[in-house]
A = this chain, B = another copy of it.
Amino acid sequence: VLIGEVAQRSGVSTRMLRHYDALGLVRPTGRTVGNYREYSEEDIRRIFHVESLRSLGLSLRQIGQALEDPAFAPSTLVSDLIRRTEDRLKREQELLDRLRTVDASAPLAWEDVLRIVELLHGLTSPSAARRQQTVLADAPVPTDLLAEAILTESDPHVAGALRWALARAGDDGVAAVASAVYAENAAIRRRAVQALAELPGDEATAVLTDALTDSDPTVRRHAALAVGTRGNPASAPTLVGMIVEGTNDVEAAEVLGTLSLDPDCADRIMALLTHELAAPTADPAARIRLTQALAEMPAPLAHPALQHLTDDEDPTVALIATSLAGVLEERING
């Protein structure tokens, strides 16, 4: 079989078949009288083997070794190829993300492209200081970049700066992070809720209210503090739970106090608090925190409850209740 037909049948160009010959990869069995390369069926099978190995990303040199050297085992090379391919895949994915971000900014000139790329480099720098500096620089960071950065930032200071910048950016900040409240990754949901907590407006409130039923406790707690501050009593059970568990309990108690400016709501919160205080499973430290939380409630409701706790069987609770009841009395009388 002459080289042209082999090329047709195998899909390998005549140029490459000659190259394989020169490298010694596939030497045609014979030559015609006119010095034409003459391939046997066995040669052609070998060409297909070469192409098979090429489809796995082996270099021609590696293919040569694989087909010649019996001591050259596949295992090491294959796992090496896997590692390298994973690497390239990751880099290509990062490149694509970068390109999409640039494209989304609809640059009119290459200067615009350079601006975005530099911002991007700053925001994804391994140095937290550099990231911080990029956020706080004079050039405002586009909202979508801020949102993206917020959802992946692990350094608390930089995260704070990013949230501040997002809040300053205005209305579209909410839209940019809102969808992340429904992300699969809990860490992303937490960051989204923290960012939304600092953004005003009904839209943010609505999404935060959704987050009250999140599967992740930290998300629920961030949402409860934010939503409670905005006057939604649906946050009350989570806030009481925070006091019981001792996570951000002081802040939670304050928010409950704010919510209690509404009389109906105050009644319901008092019921929750006294229920937890009376629970047989309540641990002493939790009962102390609950007692302290009562002081944030409206005096007419809190005072009788504290009065009742002054002869609690836990002496610490009794002591705190006595003290707080005194403070409330002064407040009422003074």
Taking the nearest CB of chain B, how far is it from the CB of A203, in angstroms? Answer: 29
- Is the pair B100, A82 in contact by a Cβ cutoff of 8 Å? yes
Taking the nearest CB of chain B, how far is it from the CB of A182, in angstroms? Answer: 16
A95 to B92, CA, bound (A): 14
Task: Identify A85's interface contact among B55, B99, B117, CB under 8 A.
Answer: B99
- Is the pair B89, A85 in contact by a Cβ cutoff of 8 Å? no
Give the residues from 254 to 294 in chain A that come closer than 8 angstroms, CB to CB, to chain B. none
Task: Identify A96's interface contact among B72, B82, B113, CB under 8 A.
Answer: B82
- Is the pair B114, A99 in contact by a Cβ cutoff of 8 Å? no
Taking the nearest CB of chain B, how far is it from the CB of A298, in angstroms? Answer: 49
Q: What are 15 sample pairs from A and B whose C-beta atoms fall under 8 A apart?
A: A52-B117, A52-B121, A53-B110, A53-B113, A55-B95, A55-B98, A56-B102, A56-B113, A57-B99, A70-B109, A75-B106, A82-B100, A82-B103, A88-B92, A92-B92
Told that A55-B95, A57-B99, A86-B96 touch, could you supply 7 new A-B pairs with CB distance under 8 A? A52-B121, A53-B113, A56-B102, A56-B113, A67-B110, A78-B102, A85-B99
- A-B pairs, 10 with minimum CB distance: A52-B117, A66-B110, A89-B92, A85-B96, A82-B99, A74-B107, A74-B113, A78-B103, A52-B114, A81-B99
Chain A residues at the B interface, C-beta cutoff of 8 Å: 49, 52-53, 55-57, 66-67, 70, 72-75, 78-79, 81-82, 85-86, 88-89, 92-93, 95-96, 98-100, 102-103, 106-110, 112-114, 117-118, 121
